[in-house]
Amino acid sequence: DAGVTQSPTHLIKTRGQQVTLRCSPKSGHDTVSWYQQALGQGPQFIFQYYEEEERQRGNFPDRFSGHQFPNYSSELNVNALLLGDSALYLCASSLEDYNEQFFGPGTRLTVL
Amino acid sequence: AQSVAQPEDQVNVAEGNPLTVKCTYSVSGNPYLFWYVQYPNRGLQFLLKYITGDNLVKGSYGFEAEFNKSQTSFHLKKPSALVSDSALYFCAVRDTPYTNAGKSTFGDGTTLTVKP
C-alpha cells in the first residue's frame, strides 16, 4: 500500500515564476491538506481539500491556490514566487477530519 | 484562534532514562491533539492522538502522552529513551467546531537528542 507521494522532490525557481506541486494521497484517503514548513519551524497550514473543494484555508495569500481531482490527488500552485516562498511543502492525507494525517516526504522549493 | 506552544527547542536525555517533551495548547472548543515525529529529510510520521476518552494515550514506538485539560497540556513521554528516538517532535492541535475543519496548528518543534 503506497503512502502519500509527492512530486517533484526538489525544485529550483526564480522570483516571479510559477510552480505546481503534486500529491497523491494514501489509498482510501479522501482529504488532502497542504503545509509550508520553513527551516526551523513547524508546518504552517495552507489549505485543505475535500470532495474537490477547498474546505479551509490558512493565512496565505491568493498566490497560493490548489485543486483536488476526482481520484483525490491534489496540486498546489504558487504564482509570482518570492524568495520567502522557499520552504519544504508537505502534503498530508487523512480519512475523516479528526483522524491523524499521513504526510508525504515533501517537495523542497528553492526560489532564487 | 487555536495555538500550540512547545517551550523547549531542545531536550537532551541519556539512553535508558525517561523523556518528556512538553506541549501546551489553546483552543476555543474541545481539542484534538496529535504528536508527530520528523526524521531528517523525511515527512512527519504520526505517533499518537487524543480525541476523547482516557487522558493517557499510548502510541507508536513506546511513546505515550497525557492530556491535562486544566493545564491545557499534552506532554509526550517515554519511560526509557533510545538513541534511535533522536529526532524532531511536533505537537499539533485541531479545534472541534466545524468552522475550523481541517485546520491543524503545529508547534515549532522540539529536537530530542538521546545520548548513549
**What string of DSSP letters covers A8-49?**
-SEEEE-TT--EEEEEEPPTT--EEEEEEE-TTS--EEEEEE
**Is the C-alpha dihedral spanning A40, A41, A42, A44 positive or negative?**
negative
| Amino acid B98: pLDDT | 53
What nine digits make up the cell of B29? Answer: 472548543
On the question of pLDDT at B102 being above 70, the answer is: no
Which of A48, A55, A103 shows the shortest C-beta gap to B44?
A: A103
- Pairing between strand B44-50 and B31-38? antiparallel
On the question of pLDDT at B100 being above 60, the answer is: no
Cα angle B44-B1-A56, degrees, rounded to a multiple of 5: 60
Rg (CA), chain B: 14
CB of A77 within 8 Å of any CB in chain B?
no
- CA nearest neighbour of A33 among A58, A61, A59, A1: A58
Are A104 and B43 inside 8 Å of each other by CB?
yes
- CA nearest neighbour of A51 among A18, A25, A17, A83: A25
| Span B9-54, pLDDT tens digits | 999 999 999 999 999 999 888 889 999 999 987 789 999 999 888 9
CB of B36 within 8 Å of any CB in chain A?
yes
| Span A6-33, pLDDT tens digits | 999 999 999 999 999 999 999 989 889 9
Which amino acid belongs to residue B103? Answer: K
Q: Is A4 helix (H, G, I), strand (E, B) or coil?
A: coil
Strand partners, B74: B67
Cα angle B56-B80-B44, degrees, rounded to a multiple of 5: 65
CB pairs under 8 A between A and B: 62
All residues of chain B having their beta carbon less than 8 Å from the beta carbon of residue A42 are 4, 90, 106-109
Are A90 and B109 inside 8 Å of each other by CB?
no
| Amino acid A97: pLDDT | 62
CB of A34 within 8 Å of any CB in chain B?
no
CB of B42 within 8 Å of any CB in chain A?
yes
What nine digits make up the cell of B76? Answer: 509526550
Chain B: nearest CA to A58, how far in angstroms?
A: 7
B98 or B11, which is more confident: B11
Query: Which of the four pLDDT bands, split at 50, 70 and 90, describes residue A3?
Result: very high
If you average pLDDT over every residue of chain A, what do you get?
A: 93
In chain B, which residue's Cα lies nearest the Cα of A89? B43
Q: Is A84 helix (H, G, I), strand (E, B) or coil?
A: helix
On the question of pLDDT at B95 being above 80, the answer is: no
Percent pLDDT > 90 in chain A is: 79
